[in-house]
Structure 1
Amino acid sequence: MKHLWRIYLLFLSCMAVGCSDNDTIIIENETTQEGAITLILKGYEDISEGFSVCQPEGFTYPFYIQDQTFHGDVYYFVKSNAERLDAMTEVPAKENNWQQSIDIEEDAAYWAWCAGADRYRYLKFRVIDIEGNNVTIEYVEADAPAGNWNANAGDAYSQEYEMPCLNDSNVFVTHDVDMEGSRILNYALEWNVSKRHANWVAFSFDKTTSADEVSRTDAWEVDPELPSDMQTEEADHKSDGFDKGHLCASEDRVYLKEANEQTFYYSNMSPQLNDFNGGFWRGLEEQVQTWGRSTASETYDKVYVAKGGTLNELLVNFTGTHVSGGTPTTDENGFTIHGLACPASYFMAVLSQKGTEFHAIAFLVPHQEGLTRNPKATDLQHYVVSVDELERKTGIDFFCNLDDATENQVEAESVISDWNW
């Protein structure tokens, strides 16, 4: 397929200078794979002369030219040795030198990996021409590679199904306990240093961890697994008008005294409105705990939970109802009087497993006063979203350790009838 725009430019130049038949140069650039799309990207020499992006259909985010490189905030690139798109048959392994920016070379071919939160997508493209401020490419979407590309590659705990994809700019913390001579994961969190708040917490229910054996311990303590300069403490929550709201709830971990004590680390606390924490949110937690404890009756083998607040969207310029601990307020950036991030919404992503069958559901609830304090199932269902939608809202990649085919299937679901209410 010839590039008509090149022929058109040639025609215009001939009209301007006068071309005879003998002077005509036929420039023929053919796409190298059926279905490939050609596109002119602007911005090679100077973005002030024009700028455009490449955002293929179905891709959440674009990539573009920056400093004579291909660049994308959630893209990674690697150069191919192939000269044609149809010769690029297999996405290179993650261990290859993927990078967020890569030099633009004429006639070079590249792989692109879009690491958008809602779905990983892959692209192959080739530079056809560089002319002035314009770079012409041909591209086609590539099939996802086999296996699990977005799985965590850290220690064994990071590879549990409840874990979201780890963000290298945050600090991954695990808390485990001894059960009959073996260490088992109690819960994990990812600490956001700049927000002084957990990005998420994650844990699972099974026959062991779903047991209800101990009472609430109120064992308030700094998180010993965080560096001292990152630790939050009681003073960070003092007289700010907010509850010290558990992320991993005390009642989520009542199978062992030490397990419950660990839920009282300040790293597991979020500044929550009293009306929210003791009302609607508590009701949603009780529903998820019911699902988790049904592992004892073998309704499920395991129930995996990731919870947190939207650190990418904070509650800004807020003044709430005065309570005994003060009046809850946040500044123009969404931080409390002691500099803790205060989320505008809270979320849960829940995954059930029975044998090889998985189902997922998610909730996104606004952090506000006045929600139903004793929610019924229909009230909870009002805030149901798919995991895919929650990922788009939060920028967090949940359940990344599932194989990609299963992950893509269950994260698109939000089937209320799959769950016992």
Structure 2
Amino acid sequence: MISIFSRGGALRFAAFFLMLVALSVSCGSSEEGQGTSFGARFLESQNTSLEAPGYASDPRIVLSGTVGTSYTITVTEGGSWCWTSRNTHATSRSGSLVTTADIVYLYLDENDSGSERTATVRVTFDGGLEFDLTLLQPEYSIPAVMDHPWAELPAYKSIDNCTYVTHYAPISSTQPKARNFTICYDRSKRIALWVAYPIHACYMQGQYDRIDAWAFDPDIPEADQADLRSGSYRGGGVRGHQCMSNHRYVPYSTLLNEQTFYSTNIMPQESAFNGGSWLKMENTASAMGRSCADTLYMVTGNYGVRSWSTDRSGTKVAMPEYCWKVLLRTKNGNTRKRIDEIHDASELIAIGFWAENSSVSAAGLAEYTTSVAEIEQKTGYKFFPMLDEAIAADVKAQHNPTAWGITE
């Protein structure tokens, strides 16, 4: 054993002590940002470059560095359409890092310039470190089926293997071609990724008569669809509507209800989920749609693949891992205004539902509720783009189940 009181022992102890001090400095608390490297990248691409969509969007920048370090973000090119504030169209903002990986938003305008365009963003940290980020935005080209001033339509985005279709049906002698629902149909999965439609009393008249007219969608090649005419899926799941059958019935014509039985509007769902939590979500939408003179706007869809089912002939169909809904309507229900005519977030209510497509169906509905903004983040879709951009973030951030009559 070395005595620290000997000359050699004292030197060894001093060296050992200095080594411990050095280690404690180099391995300091990550909460204090010790040893953190600085950087800037787009969250969506995990890189310094990003190909953004042509429609208005909010890409995110991840700033890495020591907590408390000041930074400035400046749009050095493309400031006429790429901003650090959507409300003021500012092209510069400053702040200090709150964590070692802060997220800061940029705001892009829709590209109707007629050509592709580029923006450059410079991030400067206190001390002189600089990082340049590049955004490439193609021209925003909307297919005719999505080019309508309908509040329920998500912003258009090009998705591999997907086809957009809108179905129309008569609901009265004065409305011989009312929109029924719009789908984003994935031909490889043989299910619609989402179905968007309005809910209003004019679509629900008289006595509900379920047609059960299971059929192929005439606007999609039959080879790209599941054949559900002779029964439900063989490989698991029951036939679950996206646009609900009892949201669509009028005495004037049966076509409105028949179209909800097109296979493109159906997805495999676990039986307990279809008749449990999913049904409760649908009933909530029904009640809120009937209770107001204004229209309720809904998008319903799915996310991920839990497994693969088949139709009766063995054709593979994706069974979703999660199912979701987003809803938007006026708060008092009788404004008689279009959504884009409302400029006060307190006049609107919005909510989202996100649930696992599982055999376990919980009794309560509140636990499945979330904000529209949360579902946007999970799915990558932009919902209700007709909202005034000045209030859109506040409306989509709402999460108030009681406003929708959900107490448990």
| One-letter code aligned to 2:121 | F
Return the offset for 1:402.
2.3
- Alignment match, 2:315: 338
* Cα offsets for 1:287-317 (capped at 9, x unmatched): 111111112xx3xx1101111111xx2214x
- Alignment match, 1:227: 221
Return the offset for 1:275.
1.4
Q: 1:207 to 1:276 in 2, by over 3 A?
A: closer
* Cα offsets for 1:376-403 (capped at 9, x unmatched): xxx1111111111011122222112323
Q: State the distance in 1 between where 2:40 and 2:115 align.
A: 20
- Alignment match, 1:172: 164
Return the offset for 1:370.
2.3
- Give the secondary structure class of the aligned counterpart of 2:195: strand
- Alignment match, 2:196: 202
- Alignment match, 2:28: none
Is 1:247 paired with 2:242? yes
Q: State the distance in 2 between where 1:151 and 1:291 align.
A: 34
| One-letter code aligned to 2:282 | E
* Cα offsets for 1:345-381 (capped at 9, x unmatched): 1101000124233211000011111213xx4xxx111
- Alignment match, 2:326: 349
- Give the secondary structure class of the aligned counterpart of 1:288: helix
Return the offset for 1:255.
2.9
Q: State the distance in 1 between where 2:141 and 2:213 align.
A: 34
Q: State the distance in 2 between where 1:86 and 1:368 align.
A: 49
- Give the secondary structure class of the aligned counterpart of 1:417: helix
TM-score of the superposition, structure 2-length normalised? 0.63
Say which of 182, 195, 199 aligns to 1:188. Answer: 182
| One-letter code aligned to 1:304 | Y
- Alignment match, 1:368: 358
Q: State the distance in 1 between where 2:163 and 2:130 align.
A: 41
Q: State the distance in 2 between where 1:193 and 1:156 align.
A: 18
Say which of 113, 138, 156 aligns to 1:96. Answer: 113
- Alignment match, 1:270: 267
Q: State the distance in 1 between where 2:301 and 2:237 align.
A: 16
Q: 1:198 to 1:88 in 2, by over 3 A?
A: closer
- Alignment match, 1:22: none
Q: State the distance in 1 between where 2:226 and 2:78 align.
A: 50
Structure 1 residue ranges without an equivalent (≥5)? 1-39, 42-51, 66-70, 78-83, 103-109, 112-123, 129-134, 142-148, 317-328
Return the offset for 1:72.
2.0
Q: State the distance in 1 between where 2:132 and 2:235 align.
A: 56
Q: 1:150 to 1:371 in 2, by over 3 A?
A: farther
Return the offset for 1:210.
3.6
Is 1:383 paired with 2:374? no
Q: State the distance in 2 between where 1:389 and 1:165 align.
A: 16
- Alignment match, 1:285: 282
- Alignment match, 2:104: none
Say which of 41, 50, 54 aligns to 1:54. Answer: 41
**Contact kept? 1:151, 1:402, Cα under 8 Å:** no
Q: 1:53 to 1:212 in 2, by over 3 A?
A: farther
Return the offset for 1:138.
4.7
Is 1:302 paired with 2:295? yes
Identity of aligned residues (%): 25
**Contact kept? 2:281, 2:365, Cα under 8 Å:** yes
Q: 1:238 to 1:407 in 2, by over 3 A?
A: same
Paired residues in the alignment total 296
Say which of 117, 125, 144 aligns to 2:121. Answer: 125
- Alignment match, 1:218: 212
Q: State the distance in 1 between where 2:285 and 2:241 align.
A: 15
Return the offset for 1:211.
3.0
**Contact kept? 2:168, 2:180, Cα under 8 Å:** yes
- Give the secondary structure class of the aligned counterpart of 1:223: coil
Is 1:406 paired with 2:391? yes
Q: 1:140 to 1:239 in 2, by over 3 A?
A: closer
Q: State the distance in 2 between where 1:211 and 1:167 align.
A: 34
TM-score of the superposition, structure 1-length normalised? 0.61
| One-letter code aligned to 1:166 | Y
Q: State the distance in 1 between where 2:393 and 2:158 align.
A: 23
Q: 1:86 to 1:172 in 2, by over 3 A?
A: closer
**Contact kept? 1:247, 1:268, Cα under 8 Å:** yes
**Contact kept? 2:236, 2:309, Cα under 8 Å:** no
**Contact kept? 2:297, 2:329, Cα under 8 Å:** yes
Say which of 240, 257, 260 aligns to 1:260. Answer: 257
Q: 1:175 to 1:87 in 2, by over 3 A?
A: closer
**Contact kept? 1:153, 1:159, Cα under 8 Å:** no
